Structure 1
Amino acid sequence: MNSAGHSEATAHRGLELTPFRGLRYDPDRVGSLAAVTSPPYDVVVRPDGVLHLESADPYNIVRLILPQAPTAAARNEQAAKTLRRWLSEGVLAADPRPGLYVYEQRDGDGMLQRGVIGALRVTDPAEGLVLPHEDVMPHIVADRADLMRATSANLEPLLLTYRGNGSTTDTTAIIERTAEQPPLLSTTTEDGFSHRLWSITDPAEQSRIQADLAGHQALIADGHHRWATYRRLRAEHPSPSPWDHGLVLLVDTARYPLRVRAIHRLLHGLPVAEALKPLDDLFRVRHLEVPLPEALDALADAAGAGNAFLLAGDGTFHLVDEPDPDLLARTVPADRPAAWRTLDATVLHATLLDHIWHIPEDSPAHIAYIHDTAATVSKAEHDGGTAVLMHPVHEEVVRDLARQGVTMPRKSTSFGPKPASGLVLRTLDL
């Protein structure tokens, strides 16, 4: 038994998803459900994004997931007070019965994603049930843990994927049958995605989903820091307790494939000319006088043949590829699988950031991680920094490495669509 009293941890097998009484906005108390939602906290990267969401509705979820105050302690206290006030005012209310929630996202391009939201038992890495594929930054885990302690809540679900057998399982059958019924809520957010939510409260259907999921392992698609936070908080509380579980969305990507996009880097204080100067004779550099979409096409073509990056920030694009093999041999760690050593993110961090540019990857003063391509370029041009645009990795590469216990460099991938924050919350006090 460890100090937190988790003696039963090794006795469990399989994913364990538990129904919960979700906290949801009362649609009669807010301007619209779309106006109170937000992307996940780590996608709302800029202060102007927070201000935009705050101004959308006084009850926007961003006031809980990214509270604004001069100090960390004040931010967390503010979030806790805001949550208590919204509960007392009836802005947020708990559903009367515990449920597993079917969640659907759809866009105008034919993307359809459906999954199940529930409280997942938090597992140890040795159990091999929830597979991370990226490293985490300790200061972010500490920040999220402080917020969760203060609010005693899981404010937004993280995104996990699993691979069904491609046919209709009990879970997908129940999901698709449920999606034919009138939803608890339906809204369309400003990004064009429609969102619908249903609650499965029938114990027999809940049991069938639980039995189906018990035979799978999950890959963390989005939410590594929140999962690490769940693990930290579980270790702090003697078991059994509500902290044994964390809020997740589980998606069967054999049935509903996700999109995998890259996460780009913005290098503060490093002009493009200075970034390019040390690359002579180490990489091939080609200057592209083309619009962004064509530059990204060139990046995709180059990435198909080997490591490739697109640098921007000076009004044009610079395609950087064909790294010197001797350089890679000197700078990329040799104690990992070949699939890891040849990742663009590995070469970026080990060779370019560490060896050539000498930029610490975990220093917000030196580097930012941005999901939106055009925003990364625009900010680099505005600030005089360098945007490093990446090409996405295939999901199966990510999953295969995770099964080998090999984590990718942090912020290597962006799976989506991500669940909107604000549609259903979990409080640990219920």
Structure 2
Amino acid sequence: MNTAGHAAPPGTGGLDLIPFRGVRYVPERVRSLAAVTSPPYDVVVRPDGLHHLESADPHNIVRLILPQNGPETRNERAADTLARWLSEGVLAPDPEPGLYVYEQRSGDVLQRGVIGALRLSEAAEGIVLPHEEVMPHIVADRAALMRATAANLEPLLLTYRGNGTAEGLAAEGVAAEGPSGIGGNGGTSAVVERTVLRPPLLATTTEDGVSHRLWSVTDAADVDEIRSDLAHHQAVIADGHHRWATYLRLRAEHPSPGPWDFGLVLLVDTARYPLRVRAIHRLLHRLPLADALTALKAQSGAVRVRTVEGPLPDALEELAEAASEGNAFLLAGEGTGLTAGGGSGRFHLVDRLSPALLDTTVPSDRPRAWRALDAAVLHSTLLDHVWRIPDTPEHIAYIHDTAATVAKAERDGGTAVLMHPVHEDVVRDLAQQGVTMPRKSTSFGPKPATGLVLRSLVH
């Protein structure tokens, strides 16, 4: 769909979100909507999670976002698969352009936001704020897939801070289920809360117990209200730094105006619907746990290493307590005994790194808040200085799931480095200063399910 004809809304040079003609699964053509969805591509634990998703339904979206042919043909296979599913009616574009209200609910966690096509002008690079560095080979991989499919297959997750209040929405007659006493900006939040009172386009519950609902917003007045409101805001990338870098690269490659001037995003007002911030853990493929501990203990008292009894939740509580006082990491691997012991086991807590060690290993040309980050200390002090491990895929994997990281380290004979999450305010403050955190420092959630709505650049 060519989106070039949409003018920018009135505002102060903020976010420019436009409607698009979403491509969605036709429910009658798949086993269930839950069976064709997937977590974002970088959250899928491979190979086990990939195989599980592929077997859930022959049309699972993972066949598009993580095609499994050889490196020379996998993107072409994804493009052919997408074209076939469209021609067979497994996927179909909606009849008219719209913005989409998206809701996720799990227990007492409720998140709502707006999905749309965001303008990628040069100005947007100062309006959408990254907070993490990216890995060039992943950007190249995502760009190749996006070129081949001519589609945005999954939305980025962006956060912004609205100005309105829940009381203000109530005064407008809008029922609000969000946290009491706080709210998003009036325009967008008011439209969102009105929209969710209608029957949704789709509703499904994925196997993790999260329920998902999606509505289209096609009324011109509602669309204008959202666009005018968002035009006064900037956003922080919560999830999708590599896809954002990919959007910008592909925009530069294609003539403008055109559909490559926009990218698929989900915008969530975290004043109204706060996100959870979790850590992303490291798996050191070629470093046995025994060797990691030996190298740490050889640091002449500059690092404290002590054994912590499991099970894993108890060990993570010990990590949280240590992290409240300074940098701390939890190590596991062969000999931990978690997998074989049915949930028990021993871990190794690393903390109390000496100021002298940090001063000589962490770059001094960064803000104090950056130098205190666990990820900065891990990479500068432990990986580079103590263990001398290069940050390459052959040596380090980044895994979101804590138990999966430990299990893979035990099975493969490597070392799992478990991290404590960073507070959202630290992320936002650094992003607003233009300072990027080390790659894979945070995992915001809940993340949008992949496969509920796609954006084709040709339909």
Is TM > 0.5 for Structure 1 vs Structure 2?
Answer: yes
Aligned to 1:160: 158
Q: Which runs of 4+ in 1 moved over 4 A?
A: none
Map of 1:19-418 to 2, 5 A cutoff?
A: 19-71=19-71, 73-108=72-107, 110-124=108-122, 127-167=125-165, 168=169, 169-280=186-297, 281-313=301-333, 314-315=335-336, 316-361=346-391, 363-418=392-447
Secondary structure, aligned partner of 2:233: coil
Gaps of at least 5 residues in structure 2 are 1-7, 170-185, 337-345
- Structure-2 separation of matches of 1:191 and 1:48: 16
Q: Deviations over 1:283-328 (max 9, x none)?
A: 1111012211110000000000000000111212001000011110
Answer whether contact 1:125 1:131 (CA < 8 A) is retained. Answer: no
Answer whether contact 2:15 2:124 (CA < 8 A) is retained. Answer: no
Q: Deviations over 1:235-282 (max 9, x none)?
A: 001110100000000000000000100000000121111111122212
- Structure-2 separation of matches of 1:58 and 1:127: 38
Answer whether contact 2:14 2:124 (CA < 8 A) is retained. Answer: no
- Structure-2 separation of matches of 1:254 and 1:329: 37
Q: State the one-letter code of the partner of 1:340.
A: W
State TM-score, norm by structure 1. Answer: 0.95
Residues 151 and 410 of structure 1: is their aligned pair in 2 closer, same or farther, counting only changes over 3 Å? same
Q: Deviations over 1:323-362 (max 9, x none)?
A: 011110001111111100000000001110111111112x
Q: State the one-letter code of the partner of 1:380.
A: A
- Structure-2 separation of matches of 1:232 and 1:17: 19
Secondary structure, aligned partner of 2:29: coil
Aligned to 2:342: none
Residues 351 and 124 of structure 1: is their aligned pair in 2 closer, same or farther, counting only changes over 3 Å? farther
Aligned to 1:3: none
Secondary structure, aligned partner of 1:274: helix
Residues 264 and 96 of structure 1: is their aligned pair in 2 closer, same or farther, counting only changes over 3 Å? same
Q: Deviations over 1:169-222 (max 9, x none)?
A: 111111011001000000000010000000000011100100100111000000
- Greater Cα shift, 306-315 or 181-190: 306-315
Answer whether contact 2:288 2:413 (CA < 8 A) is retained. Answer: yes
Answer whether contact 1:107 1:194 (CA < 8 A) is retained. Answer: yes
Gaps of at least 5 residues in structure 1 are 1-7
Q: Following TM superposition, by how much is the alpha carbon of 1:395 offset from its aligned partner in structure 2, in angstroms?
A: 0.5
Q: Following TM superposition, by how much is the alpha carbon of 1:124 offset from its aligned partner in structure 2, in angstroms?
A: 3.4
- State the identity %: 75
Secondary structure, aligned partner of 1:28: helix
Answer whether contact 2:35 2:57 (CA < 8 A) is retained. Answer: yes
- Structure-1 separation of matches of 2:54 and 2:310: 37
Q: Following TM superposition, by how much is the alpha carbon of 1:166 offset from its aligned partner in structure 2, in angstroms?
A: 4.7
Q: Following TM superposition, by how much is the alpha carbon of 1:12 offset from its aligned partner in structure 2, in angstroms?
A: 8.3
- Structure-2 separation of matches of 1:227 and 1:132: 9
Q: State the one-letter code of the partner of 2:192.
A: I
State TM-score, norm by structure 2. Answer: 0.89
Q: State the one-letter code of the partner of 2:296.
A: L
- Greater Cα shift, 32-41 or 272-281: 272-281
Residues 126 and 32 of structure 1: is their aligned pair in 2 closer, same or farther, counting only changes over 3 Å? closer
Answer whether contact 1:86 1:92 (CA < 8 A) is retained. Answer: yes
Q: Following TM superposition, by how much is the alpha carbon of 1:127 offset from its aligned partner in structure 2, in angstroms?
A: 4.8
- Structure-1 separation of matches of 2:161 and 2:113: 12
Secondary structure, aligned partner of 1:246: strand
Q: Following TM superposition, by how much is the alpha carbon of 1:125 offset from its aligned partner in structure 2, in angstroms?
A: 7.1
Root-mean-square deviation over aligned CA pairs: 1.3
Q: Following TM superposition, by how much is the alpha carbon of 1:126 offset from its aligned partner in structure 2, in angstroms?
A: 7.8
Answer whether contact 1:123 1:129 (CA < 8 A) is retained. Answer: no
- Structure-2 separation of matches of 1:397 and 1:78: 41
Q: State the one-letter code of the partner of 1:283.
A: V
Secondary structure, aligned partner of 2:27: coil
Q: Deviations over 1:10-57 (max 9, x none)?
A: x98110001000000000000000000000000113122111111100
